[in-house]
């Protein structure tokens, strides 16, 4: 089958210095599921943003269905049959499924009385759903549906707009384990009907379970293309990193630890705003222990982390660090007591995008030697040395000019900088919220190794992650958070079971904590 999409010799340089793409090529056949893989800053997102019209290439050629074309705006891409589903959905929670699907296309269904003809819209959507063999209740409010169903709605939206090439960016990040299989079946069904899917993921197991072909990018260049059935994970991974691949940690490989006294204790902690965010949470993390928190996005994980660091005040209950009650202490005081934090949202919570790499690297360390500020002035030489140390230990790339703005780094390298900043001084207690989100597998291994290394030195961790493989590999115990409550505890590695975890995460099973 011929190529429906060709991208040839695509070049892109940002800020006159950062070469994101260096003659990258991509050839995708009609009806296939084509994965794009590469380390952070390999150029995956830039290449797809060029295809979708969000970024303009400096040079190169894009050919759709044999015809050269210019894509300067997402509207151009949509008109050419290209759709993109982003990692975080753009559905309106209190709209119905039907209203979300036609969002932006209301004009097409507006009658002479300037009212939307929902009946006509319904007929068109139902015809599409029959064609792709999908059942959706068009009258249900979107916020009443599972994340798995919402992911299907996003794809139906792109198909409704006429897409026959769909770009999926880390689509399973927000799905529970028991939703992933159904989602993959849905994608395979679309593929069999001629829909072409471009799939971006750092999760190698998914790539090999789903894709037909794999394009590997490294340093902005296309280094090879594989038929998935003719290669293996180790070969693809080695091409990604340019050296021999070492497998990341599995649950069986993780060494067992000896635990000491309690370091972090939560006693009946509740947090409320207009609704209950956390309900009567009690937990203990002992010295040298990694306690995992499992849960689907939106079930209280963010609020738990924010309550721990002092951003959210607990309405009742106590938070103790080394037996000292920190419940009424603010974030800076908690940090001074030894509580470190890697936030779930690096852009909004972890970085100041208008500041330099060095300034971001020393956040929280301004009063520590050798950086310590004197009379409001920082020792910049030592600050740069500290930044370099983080970059070397945590493999942060793009650091040739640490005085440049942090926004020039790729998302994965931003994440590595934050983790290095928070962990490099071996704090006694670290709250990790989605620590390897958007980070390539090579960096994941480095981060996992650092966590275990620190654990051996006596640090303790509360690990909040939507990646169950990561949770099961690193955690000594796992608690499941559902609708703000702890509903289950898996108290040993031997008890970890992905299927059972998924049942509790989605509420199929009830409170057995």
Query: In the predicted model, what is the mean pLDDT of the chain?
Result: 89
| Sequence-separated (6 or more) residues with CB below 8 Å from residue 480 | 293, 294, 295, 486, 487, 488, 489, 490, 501, 504, 505, 513
Q: Is residue 512 predicted with pLDDT exceeding 70? A: no
Q: Is residue 273 predicted with pLDDT exceeding 80? A: no
Q: Which of 3-12, 95-104, 349-358, 364-373 has the lowest mean pLDDT?
A: 364-373
445-499 pLDDT per residue, tens: 888 999 999 999 999 999 999 888 899 999 999 999 999 999 999 998 888 988 8
3-state secondary structure of 448: helix
**Cβ(342)–Cβ(394) below 8 Å:** no
154-200 pLDDT per residue, tens: 999 999 999 999 999 888 877 777 778 888 999 999 999 999 999 99
3-state secondary structure of 55: coil
Q: Is residue 125 predicted with pLDDT exceeding 60? A: yes
Q: Is residue 244 predicted with pLDDT exceeding 70? A: no
Region 345-372: mean pLDDT is 83
Predicted confidence at residue 110, as pLDDT, reads 87
Sign of torsion over alpha carbons 324, 330, 336, 340? positive
Token pair for 272: 């409320």
Predicted confidence at residue 432, as pLDDT, reads 96
| Sequence-separated (6 or more) residues with CB below 8 Å from residue 453 | none
Region 276-287: mean pLDDT is 92
3-state secondary structure of 225: strand
Q: What is the bridge-based pairing of β-strands 276-286 and 262-272?
A: antiparallel
**Cβ(179)–Cβ(95) below 8 Å:** no
Give the confidence band of 418 by pLDDT, cuts at 50, 70, 90: very high
- Rounded-to-integer distance, Cα 333 and Cα 326, Å: 8
Predicted confidence at residue 79, as pLDDT, reads 93
3-state secondary structure of 270: strand
- Of the two residues 360 and 14, the one the predictor is more confident about is 360
Q: What is the number of helices (H) and of strands (E) in the chain?
A: 16, 20
Q: What is the bridge-based pairing of β-strands 429-433 and 339-342?
A: parallel
**Cβ(190)–Cβ(199) below 8 Å:** no
**Of the candidates 283, 150, 178, 278, the residue with the CA atom closest to the CA atom of residue 505:** 178
3-state secondary structure of 394: helix
193-219 pLDDT per residue, tens: 999 999 998 888 899 999 999 999 999
61-117 pLDDT per residue, tens: 999 999 999 999 999 999 999 999 876 678 999 999 999 999 988 888 888 778 899
Region 279-308: mean pLDDT is 93
Instruction: Give the DSSP letter string of 340-387.
Output: EEE-S-IIIII--TTSBHHHHHTTT-TTSTTT--BTTB--HHHHHHHH
- Rounded-to-integer distance, Cα 513 and Cα 507, Å: 13
Query: Cα angle at 190 between 441 and 296, to 5 degrees?
Result: 45
**Cβ(268)–Cβ(475) below 8 Å:** no
The strands making up 485-490's β-sheet, listed across from edge to edge, are 339-342, 429-433, 460-464, 290-294, 477-482, 485-490
- Rounded-to-integer distance, Cα 153 and Cα 137, Å: 11
3-state secondary structure of 513: coil
Q: Is residue 357 predicted with pLDDT exceeding 70? A: yes
Region 331-335: mean pLDDT is 92
Cross-strand pairs, 270: 316
**Cβ(69)–Cβ(80) below 8 Å:** yes
Predicted confidence at residue 272, as pLDDT, reads 86
Region 394-399: mean pLDDT is 86
Q: Which of 57-66, 124-133, 269-278, 389-398 has the lowest mean pLDDT?
A: 269-278
Q: Which residue has the tokens 């800020």?
A: 15
Predicted confidence at residue 429, as pLDDT, reads 97
Predicted confidence at residue 256, as pLDDT, reads 61
Sign of torsion over alpha carbons 362, 300, 40, 467? positive
Region 409-421: mean pLDDT is 88
**Of the candidates 31, 6, 29, 23, the residue with the CA atom closest to the CA atom of residue 59:** 23
Q: Which domains does the chain have, with CATH numbers?
A: 3-95+141-241 (3.40.50.300), 262-351+427-505 (3.40.50.300)
Cross-strand pairs, 216: 37, 224
């Amino acid at each position: 089958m011929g190529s429906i999409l060709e991208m040839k010799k695509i070049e892109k340089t940002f800020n006159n210095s950062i070469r994101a793409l260096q003659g990258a090529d991509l050839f995708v056949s009609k009806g296939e599921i084509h994965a794009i893989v590469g380390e952070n800053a390999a150029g995956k997102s830039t290449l797809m943003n060029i295809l979708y019209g969000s970024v303009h290439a400096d040079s190169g050629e894009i050919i759709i269905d044999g015809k050269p074309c210019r894509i300067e705006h997402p509207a151009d891409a949509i008109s050419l049959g290209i759709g993109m589903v982003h990692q975080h959905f753009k559905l309106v929670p209190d709209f119905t499924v039907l209203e979300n699907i036609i969002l932006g296309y209301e004009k097409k269904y507006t009658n002479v009385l300037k009212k939307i003809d929902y009946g006509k819209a319904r007929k068109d959507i139902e015809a599409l759903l029959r064609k792709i063999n999908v059942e959706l209740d068009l009258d249900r409010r979107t916020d009443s549906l599972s994340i798995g169903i919402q992911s299907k709605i996003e794809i139906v939206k792109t198909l409704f707009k006429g897409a026959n090439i769909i770009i999926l960016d880390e689509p399973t990040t927000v799905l529970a384990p028991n939703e992933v299989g159904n989602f993959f079946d849905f994608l395979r069904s679309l593929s069999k009907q001629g829909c072409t899917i471009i799939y971006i993921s750092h999760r190698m197991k998914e790539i090999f379970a789903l894709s037909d072909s794999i394009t590997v990018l490294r340093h902005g260049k296309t280094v090879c293309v594989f038929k998935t059935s003719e290669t293996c994970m180790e070969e693809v991974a080695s091409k990604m990193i340019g050296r021999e691949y070492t497998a990341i940690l599995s649950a069986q490989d993780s060494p067992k630890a000896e635990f000491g006294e309690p370091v972090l204790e939560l006693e009946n902690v509740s947090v409320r705003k207009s609704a209950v965010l956390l309900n009567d949470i009690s937990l203990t993390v002992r010295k040298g222990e990694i306690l995992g928190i499992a849960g689907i996005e939106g079930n209280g994980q963010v609020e738990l982390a924010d309550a721990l660091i002092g951003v959210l005040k607990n309405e009742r209950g106590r938070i103790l660090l080394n037996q000292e009650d920190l419940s009424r202490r603010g974030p800076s005081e908690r940090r001074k007591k030894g509580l470190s934090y890697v936030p779930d949202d690096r852009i909004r919570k972890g970085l100041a995008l208008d500041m330099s790499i060095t300034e971001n690297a020393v956040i929280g360390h301004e009063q520590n030697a050798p950086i310590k500020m004197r009379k409001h002035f920082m020792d910049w030489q030592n600050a740069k040395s500290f930044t370099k140390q983080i970059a070397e230990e945590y493999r942060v790339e793009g650091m040739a000019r640490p005085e440049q703005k942090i926004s020039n780094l790729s998302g994965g390298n931003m994440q590595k900088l934050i983790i290095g900043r928070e962990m490099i001084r071996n704090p006694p207690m670290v709250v990790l919220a989605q620590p390897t989100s958007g980070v390539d597998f090579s960096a994941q291994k480095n981060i996992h190794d650092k966590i275990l290394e620190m654990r051996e030195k006596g640090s303790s961790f509360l690990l909040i992650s939507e990646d169950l493989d990561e949770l099961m590999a690193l955690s000594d115990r796992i608690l499941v958070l559902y609708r703000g409550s702890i509903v289950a505890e898996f108290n040993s590695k031997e008890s970890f079971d992905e299927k059972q975890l998924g049942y509790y995460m989605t509420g199929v099973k009830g409170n057995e904590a």
